[in-house]
Structure 1
Amino acid sequence: MQRRTLATLLASLTVCAALPAWAQAEEAPDALIKRLSADLLELIKQDPQLKKGDIAHISEVVDREVMPYVNFRRMTSAAVGPQWRQANEAQRDKLQQSFKAMLIRTYAGALAQVSDQKVVVKPLRAAPGDTDVLVRTEVHGKGEPVPLDFRLEKKPGEGWKVYNFNVLGIWLVETYRTQFAQELNKGGIDGLIQALSTRTFDASAPATAQTRQ
């Protein structure tokens, strides 16, 4: 269930890339998530390679169209934790690329399971001037609805960007931070880069880190 829901996120962000930057800048974060989710199934129907889990094709789509709408540097640095400050710029670039590649390997196959899901966006609790918001949604399909929450930020001159998300009460960044800490303790930054390149971490594992509510 979690893999299928995360695949919904990946495809939703892919839809986001089809919009001009000015359109996103004028759009409220909850409206953005709602509209992108509505276009999800049509996107997958038009791109069968996504449903087949073609790693090379998914990587190309993510690099070209998804990454501009995600603050992945913030996501990676938060997952790495305090040792991010000790990494040089080359290591930080490798961490981001290796983390992205690991996420694609982990969830690529789940795209095939996306079919008739519908994302229902809950009312946004935020003030007009807020630049960091939580968008709460539910994924409706077979079985019980699945909670899926997004953390988004907006910087001056930029549209909203996702930097964390929560599936079934599990925040992705905090969960990976717990697992990455074990690799960092064993082999430092280079050890984590190597682990990301060769392993698939389990985002469904219970997180012991403090989650952000």
Structure 2
Amino acid sequence: MLVAALLPLAQASAQQAPDVLVREVTNEVLEIVRADEALRAGEKHRVMELVDAKVLPHFDFRRMTMLAVGRDWRDASAEQQVRLTEAFRTLLVRTYSNALTQYRDQTVAFKPARFAATDKRVQVRTEVHQSGAQPIGIDYMLEQSEAGWKVFDVIVAGVSLVTTYRSSFADEVRSGGVEGLLKSLEAKNRSLEAEQQHS
């Protein structure tokens, strides 16, 4: 389900409307995956390169981390906020890279845009279709910034990525403080890295 969360977030003009950005880049990334045998074979290095080049520039990871950590964000020092953002970014990249290796000719349908040209925060709705399975709704929450449209949340089958992490992050902070959350995230990232190296 997470694979489609990767797809729409690649290089495109900051002047594009958010729905156009999602549509054009989704199609571009799907073409890359279909044409690249190493990606289809699940070669981890190639997958990470694709994510780094095509996905990361269009996420606002600081805002995503701030929303996921919630009110505990204010209790984190500036240095901890930087570390939290980097650790959460790494976790999402590794998770999505793993998901991308599961791509098997899914198709993405784009729902009609429901926002005004003057809106600064929008929801772009898509639906992922796969043979023999029910379609999965994947929606992107984007906000306009000086650097263009940036994704700050992904909603998979009606469930917000940010909200999902907020619950587990709050538990970590309650048991070990902000530093405990950091250690937990860093441990998860080391575990994912080890798994990917041995798969």
Q: TM-score range by the shorter chain?
A: 0.7 to 0.9
Does residue 86 of structure 2 align to residue 94 of structure 1? no
Deviation at 1:29, TM superposition (A): 0.8
Partner of 2:184: 195
Residue identity in the other structure for 2:72: Q
Asked whether the equivalents of residues 5 and 96 of structure 2 are also in contact (C-alpha less than 8 Å), the reply is no
Runs of 4+ more than 6 Å apart: none
CA distance in structure 1 between the partners assigned to 2:37 and 2:4 by the alignment = 14
- Please name the residue that 1:52 is paired with: 42
1:53 is displaced (CA, Å) by 5.3
Aligned twin of 2:141: 151
Q: Residue in 2 aligned with 1:84?
A: 73
1:176 alignment counterpart: 165
Contact 1:8–1:40, Cα closer than 8 Å, also in 2? no
Among residues 94, 108, 114, which one is paired with 1:125 in the alignment? 114
Matched-pair contact (CA < 8 Å) for 1:71–1:162: yes
For residues 60 and 34 of structure 1, the distance between their equivalents in structure 2, rounded to whole angstroms, comes to: 21
Cα distance in 2 for partners of 1:58, 1:165 equals 20
Q: Percent identity?
A: 40
TM-aligned CA deviation for residue 120 of structure 1? 1.1
Unaligned runs of 5+ in 1: 201-213
Match of 1:111 among 95, 100, 106: 100
CA RMSD between the two structures: 2.1
TM-score, scaled relative to structure 1? 0.79
Q: Which moved more, 1:39-48 or 1:60-69?
A: 60-69
Quote the offset at 1:65 in angstroms: 4.5
